[in-house]
Amino acid sequence: MKDFPSCFGENGVQVADSSSSTSKAAQNIVTCVYQCRLRGRSSLITITWSKNLMGQGLSVGIDDSPNHCLCKVEIKPWLFSKRKGCKSLEADSSKIDIYWDFSSAKFGSGPEPLEGFYVAVIVDRVMVLLIGDLGKEAYKKANADPVPSNAIFIAKREHIFGKRFYGTKAQFCDNGQIHDVTIECDTGGLGDPCLFIRIDSKMVMQVKRLRWKFRGNQTILVDGLPVEVFWDVHNWLFGTALGNAVFMFQTCLSAEKLWANHSHTTTDPTILPWFCSQIFKDSQRQGLGFSLILYAWKNE
C-alpha cells in the first residue's frame, strides 16, 4: 500500500512489508513532508534524502491536490553531479525553480545534511519551502520575493541502525525545540528484554516483558504536548536477522480520535505497520499533528 501521493511513488517506504529482505544499504532513506500554501490551496512537498554506495541523492515532489502531482524532480547522487545547482520547469502554467547548495554541507551517518546547506522551492517567484541554515544565500541566489516561507513540517520517516541503541533527532511541533530521541533495547540476552525510550536523555517510556508486549502504544508528553507512541518489535524478537522494528510518534490533541478512526485495525496486531501508515495519511489530510515513523534495523 502506498501512503504518499502518487508522485512520491518509488521514494515512499513500503510500510506493509516490514520484513523485506531488501539490502539495508538501499534503505538508508529519510522522507520529510511539508504542508504549504500553493496557488491558494493546501499542498504537500516531499523531500526524500537517500544514501547508497553511489553517493547521496535528493528528490523533491510537489503535490498540489490530493490526487494531482504537480511535479517531481530527482537530483542524482552527488558523486556524479554538482553539489549546488538549480532545476527549472513549467507545470500547470506555473514556473517552478528548485535550488540547492551542499558545497559546504556537513553530514552525519545518515543521508540528511546537518548544517551548511539549503534547499529552496520557488513557485512563481514565491519561496514556498526553504530548509537548511543558509537562508540568506538561498534568497539571494534564487532572487525570490522577500516573503518568508509558510511551510509547516508535518511528517518524517527514517531508517535508523544500531545494535542496542537507536537514535535520531525530532521536532515535534513547527518551530519547536529539536530533541534527541533514543530507543534502547537489548535482545541478545537470555532474559525477557525491556524497551526504553528517552527524549533528551530523560526516560519517558519503559516496556517490560517485551516478549509479551512486543506490540502496543503509550502516551508520553513532549514540550507539554501529548505524543502517542506505537511500537512493533516482533521482527527483533521472533523474525529473521534482516527484520526491522517499527516505531511511530504521533502528536495530536486527541489520541482517542486516532483509535476511534482505526479501531478495526487493532483486532489484528499483525497489521500494525499498516495501521501506522493510515495514521500517517490522516495526519497530512486532517491536520492531526506531526508524525515520526522510525524503522529500526539491527546491525549485524
Q: Identify the weakest region by mean pLDDT among 172-176, 256-260, 266-270.
A: 266-270
pLDDT for position 165: 94
Is the pLDDT at 60 greater than 60? The verdict is yes
Which residues have C-beta within 8 Å of that of residue 179, sequence separation ≥ 6? 169, 170, 171, 172, 199, 200, 222
What average pLDDT does the segment 169-174 reach? 83
91 — pLDDT class (breaks 50, 70, 90): confident
What average pLDDT does the segment 241-252 reach? 84
- pLDDT tens profile 197-228: 999 999 999 999 999 999 999 999 988 888 99
Alpha helix segments (H runs only) across the chain: 135-142, 234-238, 255-262, 272-286
241 — pLDDT class (breaks 50, 70, 90): low
Contact 108, 131 (CB under 8 A): no
Contact 220, 229 (CB under 8 A): yes
